[in-house]
Amino acid sequence: MTKDEGRFEIRLSGSGGQGLMLAGKLLAEAASVYDGKNTVQTQSYGPEARGGKSKTDIVISTEDIDYPKATSVDVLLAMTQVSADEYRRSLKEGGLFVVDSYLVDNAGLDSAIGIPFTLLAIEQCGRALFANVVALGAVVELSKAVEWDSLEKTVVARVPSGTEEANKRALAVGREAARRATGKVS
Amino acid sequence: MSGNNERSIWVMQGNEACSVGAVAAGVDFFAGYPITPSSEIAEFMARHLPLIGGRFIQMEDEIGSIAAIIGASLAGARSMTATSGPGFSLMQENLGLACLAEIPCVIVNVQRAGPSTGLPTQPAQGDVMQTRWGTHGDHAIIALAPATVLECIELTARCVSLSEEFRTPVVLLMDEVIGHMRESVEVPAPGSYKVHSRPHPRDEQEDYQPFCGGLSGIPPMAHFGGPHRFHVTGLTHDERGFPTMVPEEVDRKIRGIVGKIEDRADDLAMNEETMTDDCEVLLFAYGSSARVAKASLRVLRERGLKAGLLRVKTIWPFSGKRLRELAPQLRSIIVPEMNLGQLVTEVERAVAGVVPVRHFGRVDGHLFEPDQITDFVLEEIAS
């Protein structure tokens, strides 16, 4: 995986209401506003307000981006079993596959890194709704898709006022969990 | 919408960009009825217009929405509404009123898959012919189709300008991919867009005739509340605005609302060409499909095929000029559209059998993938 040349594709997938569209927006903004790359983010979801399949693709490139969706995914995050089963096929060979092991049975997904994002959010951040930001911290730590500093700046700038510290903590929880999962405990 | 103000680099959604373009072009009245995938436009305008002294009204439905923007325009406002297929269908009758009564306004249609309620969150390009012929009777329409977030700003501003310049309704024909896509853009400085104002009669002018454009002209437009009183009707009318059945007057009116736009089709054409200088196979596309065609083009060139892309930003009035100029060098024209064959019929009319034209349609609610277009082109060339 190279982050400096050509096209880099990230797919965040799960269920409506898990906050993946917001996570995608944050990633896109970190990549373009702070890292200075070209970015396109697209989304796909059903007509339901909550539930139903939901995914967002973020394409980051130093060059012009014509095709706006992912075709050969470098990084796949799956926050539900259904999305893990469906989108694993889109992952390119050697790509990074991360699942929420609290919600996804990753026994059959041998290449996947399992981290219990939703459980970590409940236990260490106090609420399940931080799961998206915890996952974002882990995905960026594992993929280096954007600079950590850029991600933190974006999150602080974009989350509701008064929740900045809680969200920064959620990012850090994700980062730590990613380091533990790959044996790189700091 | 979010970004870094110093560098003016923003990550913006197509729908937000459309709203930014509208405000930059002086739109000060918006009436609408939110519908996926266009709702963010109404959302933005509802937040923003009150801050700059404009008006936002959420109407009871789309019939009311277009009626309200027509009324606001008659009172002098630059007015706009936004919708998607089901709402656009409801607007057709009053779209005809705006054409006939020569009332400037902008209608944004963020296309989703139809017919009927269809797939609310999925893209299509199925409203191209409805945009042209959805309202009854002979008329002309201007419609522009953006393919990037930056173009959502630019072309919305252009729609406002054209509606004013030509005293006519103008449609911004987006699709779900472009409307919902977020893209990094460098936002142009305020005042970057030249926006025409409708021709206006002098206050002291005597015997003001609000519909005196003749066969190709654009008559001056007074606004309600000003010194000029005039009659507006959906009945076919004379130069003063009163109903007429005099054959010569009726004929002049209908030829006039068509001629003022169709006579300028070549001037209104906005295209982007990629690698057309030496191309033998031409991809002809617009909106989000054109982005995929451009990605496919690179692969086709790598495989040694002399392919090029003509992307039209002006859908209506359709100009065949560039196609006719390119025709002698072409073996084939391929038209990918997210429908079962709409703008392709205009391409066929333009080249009139000189070059074979093939349509490639997708109607399953998804954008093309570059490989699909590449494979289709290679199979076509081989056969």
How many C-beta atoms lie closer than 10 Å to residue B365's C-beta? 16
ipTM: 0.90
Residue % of chain B over a pLDDT of 90: 94
* The predicted structure's pLDDT at residue A1: 38
Over residues B37-73, the pLDDT tens digits come to 999 999 999 999 999 999 999 999 999 999 999 999 9
Let me know if residue A19 belongs to a domain: yes
Over residues B152-202, the pLDDT tens digits come to 999 999 999 999 999 999 999 999 999 999 999 988 887 888 999 999 999
A-chain CB neighbours of B371 within 8 Å are 71
- The domain ranges of chain B are 7-186, 272-382
CA distance B106 to B82: 8
CA B189 vs CA B7, B8, B47, B138: distances in Å:
11, 9, 21, 40
Span B272-382 CATH architecture: 3-Layer(aba) Sandwich (3.40)
* The predicted structure's pLDDT at residue A185: 63
Beta strands in B128-280, from DSSP E residues, in sequence order: 142-144, 169-175, 182-186, 271-274
Count the domains in chain A.
1
* The predicted structure's pLDDT at residue B1: 54
Q: Do B367 and A32 touch (CB under 8 A)?
A: no
* The predicted structure's pLDDT at residue A2: 40
Helix extents (H) in B104-147: 128-133
Which structure tokens are listed for B287? 């909106």
Helix extents (H) in B181-314: 247-262, 265-268, 287-302
Residue % of chain A over a pLDDT of 70: 93
Let me know if residue A177 belongs to a domain: no
* The predicted structure's pLDDT at residue A46: 76
- CB < 8 Å from A in window 177-216 of B: 177, 180-184
Of A41, A66, A67, the CB nearest to B182: A41
- Contacts within 8 Å (CB) and 24+ apart, B58-63: B58/B31, B58/B32, B58/B33, B58/B34, B59/B31, B59/B32, B59/B33, B60/B33, B61/B33, B61/B87, B61/B90, B62/B32, B62/B33, B62/B35, B62/B86, B62/B87, B62/B88, B62/B90, B62/B91, B63/B90, B63/B91, B63/B93, B63/B94
Is residue B370 within 8 angstroms of chain A, CB to CB? yes
Let me know if residue A172 belongs to a domain: no
Superfamily of domain B7-186: Thiamin diphosphate (ThDP)-binding fold, Pyr/PP domains (3.40.50.970)
- Give yes or no for a contact between B319 and B291, defined as CB atoms under 8 angstroms apart: no
- Residue B134 binned pLDDT confidence (cut-offs 50, 70, 90): very high
CA distance A179 to B362: 44
Asked if B7-186 and B272-382 have one fold, the answer is yes
Is residue A63 within 8 angstroms of chain B, CB to CB? no
CB burial readout B126-136, b (16+ within 10 A) else e: bbbebbbebbe
Let me know if residue A39 belongs to a domain: yes
Chain B residue nearest residue A57, CA to CA:
B181
- Domain CATH for A91: 3.40.920.10
Over residues A29-72, the pLDDT tens digits come to 999 999 999 999 999 887 766 778 899 999 999 999 999 999 99
Let me know if residue A149 belongs to a domain: yes
Q: Do B120 and A39 touch (CB under 8 A)?
A: no
- Residue B282 binned pLDDT confidence (cut-offs 50, 70, 90): very high
Is residue B36 within 8 angstroms of chain A, CB to CB? yes
B-chain CB neighbours of A42 within 8 Å are 177, 180-182
Does A3 score more than 60 pLDDT?
Answer: no
Of B9, B177, B294, the CB nearest to A42: B177
Q: Do B11 and A25 touch (CB under 8 A)?
A: yes
A-chain CB neighbours of B292 within 8 Å are 66-67
Q: Do A40 and B182 touch (CB under 8 A)?
A: yes
Q: Which DSSP state fits A5? A: S
Let me know if residue A180 belongs to a domain: no
Is residue B9 within 8 angstroms of chain A, CB to CB? yes
Over residues B288-341, the pLDDT tens digits come to 999 999 999 999 999 999 999 999 999 999 999 999 999 999 999 999 999 999
**Domain boundaries, position A50:** 7-116+143-163
Let me know if residue A104 belongs to a domain: yes
Over residues A5-30, the pLDDT tens digits come to 689 999 999 998 899 999 999 999 99
- Give yes or no for a contact between B67 and B51, defined as CB atoms under 8 angstroms apart: no
CA distance B54 to B52: 6
